[in-house]
Amino acid sequence: MAMPITRVLIANRGEIALRIIRACHEEGLEAVAVYSDADRSAPYVRAANAAVHIGPPPAAQSYLVMDKIIAAAQATGAQAIHPGFGFLSERAAFAARVAEAGLVFIGPPASAIQAMGDKTEARRRMQAAGVPVVPGAMAAVTDPAEATRVAAALGYPVLVKAAAGGGGKGMRVVTRPDDLAGALTSAASEAQKAFGDPAVYLEKFIERPRHVEIQVLADHERTIHLGERECSVQRRHQKLLEEAPSIAVDPELRERMGQAAVAAAKAVGYRSAGTCEFLLAADGSFYFLEMNTRIQVEHPVTELVYGVDLVREQLRIARGMPMTVAPGPLSPRGWAIECRITSEDPANGFLPSTGRITYLKAPAGPGIRWDSGVETGDEVTLFYDSMLAKLIVHGASRSDAIARMERALAELVVTGVATNQPFHLRLLADPDFRAGRIDIQFLERRPELIVAAPDDELVKLLAVVAALAEEERRQRQKPAVALDDQVTSAWLVRGRAEGLR
Ligand code: MV4
């Protein structure tokens, strides 16, 4: 390596920027933040050793401008750039530009990002590497007559997918031949709009699968997997809750999926942390979907059950050091669940809710991790995505983790902006969720979990009263008298709310 790494620029914001800054400090590295006008006083900016202003709030004029990010690294003497997730994290051109500037990109080689970015190319390479992919075409289709032949051979239903795809854009389920030509046209035009590339192809449509992904870690010597995450609880391609392990994966399946993910990573010369997404069908068959060539939002659940700090490993690998994970068999310990806390209002069609966070009280206690980018007084705007924080719990079993998450969510207080906290409480109480009967269509079948319940506001109000009572006790340094001693947890209060109905 040209220059040893002592200082890392984090090309991101919010909770993931803070998460990475903390890992840098634990590794003895200095951290440089970048910030837009909207993030001037954000917690991650204060946590960094230095911070560089990169422009106005819109990401297109700040966090997405490669020149500004690279210039900020050079101006502050950073030798490496961690992209986090979103923004520039999966732009092969950015990874290449960083390298050309003589800096280290903390992630995979640009060639691996490139190879996994084109979905049809990735499918071909994965199939060649022996990784199971969904049956379907290996190249883009344009001619409707040819598409009709391919679809007949696959059997309906089929799925029209964008070659440049991701996130479900440019996707159409087709159940009968008559609908195929129209689906090709509309998917292609959506793909053109979303990705600037109208190419589409066909796959067999897998009905009611789970979304299970495998964490991969590769250093200069070894490529290993750290088991699966269950990500089926999603709405419109936005994950809301993730778990590790998956209730649907036993040690034998874990090893087969893990080996498939390792083969996928090796096939593209992968290094750093990455994730292979699979569809897991009800019959236990699994199919590679795509590889996310970045650290993911939900990485903490894997960290908790495998006892590994994935960002630390990324930093080590970027420095040319070996991963700390010892060779030999690994298995998950206990159960971890993550709830994404978003400023979205379930009472208002999950539309983003903006405003000032007038009060924030994070849950605490054993087995609880609160990865947040905001604090009391912060402004929530529409410039960035709506995830405020991740609440992650670890317990001995799935039911212990669920109980712990329910307790933690009941303790969480956010006022000033609406959040999806009531949704999470309803989900965790649901008998199907508790039994692990989930797949990617679960929330579509259960709209009542999404829609606000009549007592959401009452429960929240009582939780706020409980938190304020506690705050008052703490500030006065004497036992509470006014708001009796029983009002100590929102959970107790929730019981009262139920009693009131
Ligand atoms: C599929 C599928 C069913 N069958 N492919 C959605 C986004 C893209 N990453 C792949 N996606 C899917 N591909 C076949 N052949 C169902 C989905 C899908 C999905 C996958 C993962 C997580 C959430 C999803 C929600 C809807 C559809």
**Structural domains for the chain:** 7-106 (3.40.50.20), 135-204 (3.30.1490.20), 341-428+449-501 (3.30.470.20)
pLDDT of 494 reads 47
Contacts of 9 (CB under 8 A, 6+ apart): 31, 32, 34, 52, 69, 72, 73, 76, 78, 80, 81, 82
pLDDT of 276 reads 98
What is the C-alpha separation between 205 and 157, in angstroms, rounded? 6
Q: 440 CB under 6 A from ligand 1? A: yes
The amino acid at residue 164 is A
- Whole-number Å distance, alpha carbon 296 to ligand 1 midpoint, is 18
What is the C-alpha separation between 95 and 164, in angstroms, rounded? 19
- Whole-number Å distance, alpha carbon 367 to ligand 1 midpoint, is 32
What is the C-alpha separation between 384 and 14, in angstroms, rounded? 9
pLDDT tens-digit profile, the chain (501 residues):
457 999 999 999 999 999 999 999 999 999 999 999 999 999 999 999 999 999 999 999 999 999 999 999 999 999 999 999 999 999 999 999 999 999 999 999 999 999 998 888 899 999 999 999 999 988 889 899 999 999 999 999 999 999 887 677 889 999 999 999 999 999 999 999 998 999 999 999 999 999 999 999 999 999 999 999 999 999 999 999 999 999 999 999 999 999 999 999 999 999 999 999 999 999 999 999 999 999 999 999 999 999 999 999 999 999 999 999 999 999 999 999 999 999 998 778 888 999 999 999 999 999 999 999 999 999 999 999 999 999 999 999 999 999 999 999 999 999 999 999 999 999 999 999 999 999 999 999 999 998 877 777 777 787 788 778 877 877 777 554 444 444 444 444 444 445 444
What is the C-alpha separation between 307 and 336, in angstroms, rounded? 11
473 is catalytic: no
- Whole-number Å distance, alpha carbon 168 to ligand 1 midpoint, is 7
The amino acid at residue 65 is V
Identify the residue whose C-alpha is closest to ligand 1 atom 15. Answer: 205
What is the C-alpha separation between 333 and 291, in angstroms, rounded? 25
Identify the residue whose C-alpha is closest to ligand 1 atom 5. Answer: 205
- Whole-number Å distance, alpha carbon 118 to ligand 1 midpoint, is 16
Contacts of 232 (CB under 8 A, 6+ apart): 210, 211, 212, 438, 439, 440, 442
Identify the residue whose C-alpha is closest to ligand 1 atom 21. Answer: 211
Best residue for ligand 1 mutational test, from 279, 288, 438 (most atoms within 8 Å of Cβ): 279
Q: 205 CB under 6 A from ligand 1? A: yes
Q: Which atom of ligand 1 is nearest to the CA of 231?
A: 22
What is the C-alpha separation between 238 and 396, in angstroms, rounded? 27
pLDDT of 487 reads 42
- Please tell me whether residue 306 adopts helix, strand or coil conformation: helix
Identify the residue whose C-alpha is closest to ligand 1 atom 11. Answer: 168
- Whole-number Å distance, alpha carbon 345 to ligand 1 midpoint, is 25
What is the C-alpha separation between 358 and 242, in angstroms, rounded? 28
Q: 206 CB under 6 A from ligand 1? A: yes
Is the backbone peptide bond immediately before 56 cis, with ω within 30 degrees of 0? no
pLDDT of 499 reads 47
Helix-helix angle 310-318:299-306, to 10 degrees = 90
pLDDT of 2 reads 58
The amino acid at residue 47 is A
For the record, the structure tokens of 54 come out as 């990169």
Identify the residue whose C-alpha is closest to ligand 1 atom 14. Answer: 205
Instruction: Using CA atoms of 30, 34, 35, 39 in order, give the dihedral in degrees to the nearest 10.
Output: -30
What is the C-alpha separation between 300 and 308, in angstroms, rounded? 9
Name the DSSP letter for residue 141: B
Residue 97 to residues 65, 84, 118, 257: CA-CA distances in angstroms?
12, 16, 19, 34
Catalytic residue among 254, 271, 294, 494: 294
Q: Which atom of ligand 1 is nearest to the CA of 168?
A: 7
| Number of C-beta neighbours around residue 149 at 10 A | 12
Q: Where are the beta strands (DSSP E) in 231-386?
A: 234-235, 238-239, 241-244, 272-280, 286-292, 335-342, 344-345, 351-352, 355-356, 359-361, 368-372, 379-380
Q: Which atom of ligand 1 is nearest to the CA of 206?
A: 4
Identify the residue whose C-alpha is closest to ligand 1 atom 19. Answer: 440
Is the backbone peptide bond immediately before 300 cis, with ω within 30 degrees of 0? no
- Whole-number Å distance, alpha carbon 159 to ligand 1 midpoint, is 9
For the record, the structure tokens of 310 come out as 């994935």
Question: Taking the chain, what is the end-to-end CA distance rounded to the nearest angstrom?
Answer: 66
Name the DSSP letter for residue 291: E
What is the C-alpha separation between 334 and 70, in angstroms, rounded? 41
pLDDT of 305 reads 98
Q: 159 CB under 6 A from ligand 1? A: yes
What is the C-alpha separation between 225 and 491, in angstroms, rounded? 38
Q: 114 CB under 6 A from ligand 1? A: no
162 beta partners: 200
What is the tally of helices (H) and strands (E) in the chain?
A: 18, 24
The amino acid at residue 80 is A
pLDDT of 498 reads 52
Paired sense of beta strands 359-361 and 413-415, if any: antiparallel
Half-sphere exposure of 183 (CA within 13 A, CB side): 24
Q: 207 CB under 6 A from ligand 1? A: no
Residue 30 to residues 7, 79, 251, 317: CA-CA distances in angstroms?
4, 10, 40, 17
Q: 293 CB under 6 A from ligand 1? A: no
Instruction: Using CA atoms of 313, 318, 320, 322 in order, give the dihedral in degrees to the nearest 10.
Output: 10
